[in-house]
Amino acid sequence: MHLFWEELRAAVPLIFHGNPQLMNIIWFTLQVAAVATAAATVIGVPVGLAIGLGQFRGRRAMQFAANASLGVPPVLVGALLFVLLAGHAPLASLQLLGTRRVVFIAQTILALPYTVALTAAAVQALPPGLLTQARALGAGRWQVWVLAVREARIGMVAAVIAALGSSLSEVAAIAILGGNIYGYNQTLASATLFEVSGGHYADALAIAIVLIALIFLLMCTLGALQQQGNGIRLRFRPAT
């Protein structure tokens, strides 16, 4: 306990003195979280909608895969991607290992199952009569999708929150793929690991405090948006 207070006392000034190294890590973390969450949303939401609303061969298999991949350990994903990208592997020519780009890619891949599986679940949880009635009144495919998005918005925001959480806190895959290179491609989570491994507990604690504060701030903001009235007021057309 004594050690903890000692390290905490040393960590607080690191946070408030605007350590440039820490600022770089925060900035890179925010970039990774934003890009990975946005990419996972742009790719995952339409796929989740297709799984939730579509009637095509392989739909159940896709949903099973999305649900199952929620439980796959990130370290396994990192290891698999490493095997594909290293040495003489099929994707080695891309020369992604140890780069910043691979961190973005890995976090996007890890965030994707959240947006796919939770979006599919959100639209599947809608009252079945709602969409059938819309079709019966002449709604086309896109109109049904718009209705589904509007009605499932709370669940879909939850999907984005989960993806963001994954992007902020995941460490194993990016450490394997990016190499956790000091001052280059570290996120707050991987930097915490790096500092702990090096025995720099005060630095690790400072980074961890910033990470927790960031997660808390972003999650509260999205949570407030989710709870606002009946959820976020998405307007696809002017109110009539």
Partner 1 sequence: MSDSSPRRALLRAEAVTVRRGAREVVHGANLDLHAGEIVALLGPNGAGKSTLLDAVCGVLRPVSGTIERHGRVAIALQAADLARRSAVANITTALGWWGVPRAQRADRALRALEAMGVAHLAQRQTTTLSGGERRRVHLARVLAVEPDILLLDEPFAGLDAEVRANLLQDTLSALRSDTRATLVVVHDRAEAWALADRLLILIDGRLVAGGPPREVLEHPPTLAVARFLGYDGALREGDETVLTRPANVMLDPDGPLRARVTRAVPMEDGARIELTFDQGRVYAVAPLPAPRVGDEVRVRIDRGARFPSA
Structural element, H or E, at residue 15:
helix 2-16
Taking contact as CB under 8 A, which single stretch among the options 64-72, 104-112, 124-132, 202-210 is the one that binds partner 1?
A: 124-132
Nearest of 166, 75, 172 to residue 117 by alpha carbon: 166
Give, as ranges, the residues between 57 and 116 that touch partner 1 (CB under 8 A). Answer: none
Q: Binding to partner 1 by residue 230, rule CB under 8 A?
A: yes
- Token pair listed for 183: 């001052």
Nearest of 148, 122, 121 to residue 135 by alpha carbon: 148
Least gap, CB of 238 to partner 1 (angstroms): 9
Give the Cα separation of 154 and 226 in Å (integer).
6
Give the Cα separation of 173 and 166 in Å (integer).
11
Q: According to CB under 8 A, which one of 88, 128, 199, 224 is a site residue for partner 1? A: 128
Least gap, CB of 118 to partner 1 (angstroms): 19
Closer CB to partner 1, 133 or 197, in the complex = 133
Taking contact as CB under 8 A, which single stretch among the options 73-81, 109-117, 125-133, 176-184 is the one that binds partner 1?
A: 125-133
* C-beta atoms surrounding 133 within 10 Å: 12
Cα separations in angstroms, 186 against 28, 160, 193, 225? 7, 23, 10, 30
Closer CB to partner 1, 56 or 236, in the complex = 236
Least gap, CB of 154 to partner 1 (angstroms): 9
8 Å CB contact between 155 and 175: no
Query: Residues binding partner 1: what is the number (CB under 8 A)?
Result: 21
Nearest of 16, 27, 208 to residue 200 by alpha carbon: 208
Nearest of 186, 189, 149 to residue 165 by alpha carbon: 189
Q: Binding to partner 1 by residue 227, rule CB under 8 A?
A: no
Closer CB to partner 1, 88 or 235, in the complex = 235
The dihedrals phi and psi of 88, each to the nearest 5 degrees, come to -105, 25
Give, as ranges, the residues between 130 and 169 that touch partner 1 (CB under 8 A). Answer: 130, 132-134, 136-140, 143, 147, 150-151
Q: Binding to partner 1 by residue 55, rule CB under 8 A?
A: no
Closer CB to partner 1, 139 or 225, in the complex = 139
Closer CB to partner 1, 66 or 152, in the complex = 152
Give the Cα separation of 118 and 162 in Å (integer).
9
Least gap, CB of 228 to partner 1 (angstroms): 13
Give, as ranges, the residues between 1 and 40 that touch partner 1 (CB under 8 A). Answer: none
Residues of the shown chain interacting with partner 1 in the complex, contacts defined by CB under 8 A: 127-130, 132-134, 136-140, 143, 147, 150-151, 230-231, 237, 239-240
